[in-house]
Amino acid sequence: MHEPELPHIHEPRELRRLSYAALNRLAVEIRETIVATVSKNGGHLASNLGVVELTIALHRVFDSPQDKIVWDVGHQCYTHKLLTGRYDVFPTLRQSGGLAGFPKYAESPHDAFDTGHASTSISAALGLLAGERIKGGTGRVVVVIGDGALTGGLAYEALSHAGQLGLPLIVILNDNKMSISPNVGGLSKYLSRLSMKARYQSFRRKFDAMAQRLPFIGDVFFDLVVRLKRAVKAVFYTDNFFVDLGFEYVGPIEGHQIQGLERVLQDVRKLDRPVVVHVITRKGKGYCFAEQDPGTYHGVSSFSVSTGLGGATPQGNTSFTEVFSKALLDAGSRDERVTAITAAMEKGTGLSPFKAAFPQRFFDVGIAEEHAVTFAAGLAAQGLRPVVAIYSTFIQRAVDQIIHDTALQHLPVIFALDRAGFVSDDGETHQGLFDICLFRPIPNLTILAPASAGELALMLDWSLAGPAGRVSGGAIIIRYPKAPCPLELPACSAPLEQGRGVFVRQQDTSCCLAFTGSLYPQVLDAAERLAAQGIDADLYNLRFLKPLDEDYLGAIMNRYKMMIFIEEGSRAGGIGEYAAELALRRHCTAQVLILGVPDAFVSQGKREELLHLNGLDGEGIAAGVLGFRCS
């Protein structure tokens, strides 16, 4: 029985004192620690299990933090965190105030660059390396990028630039054939062809050995052998894309053998040119359930280690995503023009049922949000009804494609923005708090925010019905949170009227709470708390965050003494600011209070915690109203 190694590794250099046998035991310990922690806290499981040996080898060969390792997406950084002095705090992973699930420079100098969104690593690393050389330093910079993240366009812009600069950037391509779902696109096929090179080399070794065993090889036979080898080689090899861009290419190499990995890394460390090291790993390695189904175990909530099963979802807690998924499926059956597009998030956005029913009208474009939007615009220009299902945080990538390729041309693309608002556990990079302020100023765009299941389905149908009878056509954003979806809200089943909301409670009081749909349960709670304090409030579900029927809203703001605008998004540039400006412009009588997210990035926590911290739960809203009333 051996003493555990992991608790004694405080700095990566301590790995160098371990034998390969001890390192292999360490890899087992690391996997056990990751599985145990993620089973409690949730997190990215399969991706982390796949890079344990690679991370150990990297930290033995390179001197972090003088040498810098940049993790693409950063969701696979758990081993790196465990080996860089964060073992003791690892149980706090993804908890409020705890260790982040992604690299954070503020957390450790070993986290060379913050990530969370895909495909940024090569650009960032090239900048770090160019900066290091300008300062006269000799530190190395290494990128670890997955084959999924390599489907993002930014990665190619960076590869092209890196080839041009010729600096000794080391790009480790972690190829496990998976994005979250199986990887898609021409590049993934291309990488598979490169992987066949390994099989070709094994074929060649066997072939040479066999030929040598044959006695008296004559010239004719030798020529035949050479020609046969060339023909086989032509099947396996084509020109190497990375080499054409100016990189050295090494690989593909087995990604679970520390010694072999180390040997290659020692070699490429000495190169004075950019190099791609193509490493083959198994996503989910070492935990049977994750190996068998790496897609499901890519990102998980808490689960039982022995059965691999998560806790049952409480009955009746249908999510907004599930409601959207069903509504889109229904729409797809009614209308053959309906098409669905995802950027590598098929399951997360609820598109799997649509894909199964209408495979010809479903497109997974890879981690390529900009392309997803412009591609959808092309479909719309052909008279189809594309629905791009995408997380609020990832649409940030495609602001220009929404302006230039969609809104400007009045094209009827629908954006189903999931995870709009606070997002549990993933931290700053994954909050969906900027979509309202990013897209509100853009002409020809409609932004809708449903409060209930019926209303989400209604909004999708209204959006798909096309611009007939509407003031503006063009693109439509429907934003909804990662949260349970209230099912019965009679007021919200009233037909949509452009620019207008609906009252879900109206008693002609002097105070009105106007809210974005996702906050309906919190607003209801606030109203009850206020009633207990003797303040009755009417509740106005805004429905439209753009365009607003200014006459209609202006009239409402003349009816009340207090109008409180409550939004699950950035206050700056949000709906409240717009309403306040409208109230000023129209000399409305109501005093306006805005409750939204202050001008700061929001760090990790559960959605409920984050609502509380930002004064947007029932308690916070009620306190805001009371404070405003007394001021």
Ligand X SMILES: Cc1ncc(C[n+]2csc(CCOP(=O)(O)OP(=O)(O)O)c2C)c(N)n1
Least separation in angstroms between residue 69's CB and ligand X is: 15
Residue corresponding to tokens 């409208």: 582
Distance CA 433, CA 94 (A): 19
| Beta strand ranges found along 313-358 (DSSP E) | 338-342
Cβ proximity of 9 and 33 under 8 Å: no
CA atoms within 13 A on the CB side of 279: 32
Which residue in 283, 529, 543, 607 is the catalytic one?
A: 283
User: Cα 511 from chain centroid?
Assistant: 39
- What is the DSSP code (8-state) at residue 4? P
Least separation in angstroms between residue 402's CB and ligand X is: 15
Distance CA 629, CA 631 (A): 6
Cβ proximity of 475 and 412 under 8 Å: yes
Would residue 619 show up in a list of annotated catalytic residues for this protein?
Answer: no
Closer CB to ligand X, residue 343 or residue 438?
343
Residue corresponding to tokens 């300062």: 135
- What are the residues facing 387 on neighbouring strands? 340, 414
Closer CB to ligand X, residue 64 or residue 115?
115
The amino acid at residue 465 is A
Residue 520 vs residues 93, 227, 617: alpha-carbon distances, Å: 31, 73, 10
Ordered alpha helix ranges (H), 472-617:
520-532, 550-559, 575-585, 607-613
Closer CB to ligand X, residue 115 or residue 522?
115
* Six token digits for residue 556: 């409402």
Closer CB to ligand X, residue 294 or residue 605?
294
- For 246, residues 6+ apart whose C-beta sits below 8 A from its C-beta are 162, 163, 164, 166, 273, 274
Least separation in angstroms between residue 345's CB and ligand X is: 6
Closer CB to ligand X, residue 418 or residue 538?
418
Would residue 283 show up in a list of annotated catalytic residues for this protein?
Answer: yes
Cis peptide before 386 (omega within 30 of 0): no
Least separation in angstroms between residue 147's CB and ligand X is: 5
Residue 586 vs residues 443, 580, 627: alpha-carbon distances, Å: 22, 10, 25
Least separation in angstroms between residue 129's CB and ligand X is: 21
Closer CB to ligand X, residue 185 or residue 576?
185
Distance CA 342, CA 119 (A): 17
The amino acid at residue 80 is H
Which residue in 369, 370, 567, 577 is the catalytic one?
A: 369
* Six token digits for residue 372: 């997803």
Helix (H, G, I), strand (E, B) or coil at 431: coil
* Six token digits for residue 83: 């080996």
Distance CA 248, CA 261 (A): 17
Which residue in 31, 285, 397, 440 is the catalytic one?
A: 397
Closer CB to ligand X, residue 172 or residue 621?
172
- For 162, residues 6+ apart whose C-beta sits below 8 A from its C-beta are 122, 126, 169, 171, 245, 246, 247, 274
Least separation in angstroms between residue 47's CB and ligand X is: 3
- For 136, residues 6+ apart whose C-beta sits below 8 A from its C-beta are none
Closer CB to ligand X, residue 108 or residue 176?
176
Closer CB to ligand X, residue 95 or residue 174?
174
Would residue 337 show up in a list of annotated catalytic residues for this protein?
Answer: no
* Six token digits for residue 111: 């986290």
Least separation in angstroms between residue 100's CB and ligand X is: 14
Least separation in angstroms between residue 188's CB and ligand X is: 9
- For 518, residues 6+ apart whose C-beta sits below 8 A from its C-beta are 420, 421, 449, 451, 479, 480, 481, 483, 568
Least separation in angstroms between residue 427's CB and ligand X is: 12
Cβ proximity of 440 and 402 under 8 Å: no
Cβ proximity of 583 and 563 under 8 Å: yes
Distance CA 389, CA 77 (A): 27
**Which residues of this chain interact with ligand X, rule CB under 6 A?**
47, 50, 73, 75-76, 117-118, 146-149, 174, 176, 178-180, 283, 298, 343-345, 367, 369, 394, 397
Least separation in angstroms between residue 230's CB and ligand X is: 34
Closer CB to ligand X, residue 185 or residue 624?
185
Closer CB to ligand X, residue 370 or residue 568?
370
Least separation in angstroms between residue 116's CB and ligand X is: 6
β-strand pairing of 591-597 with 338-342: unpaired
Q: What burial class does residue 140 get, using C-beta atoms within 10 Å of its C-beta: 0-12 exposed, 13-18 middle, 19+ buried?
A: buried
By annotation, the residues acting in catalysis are 283, 369, 397
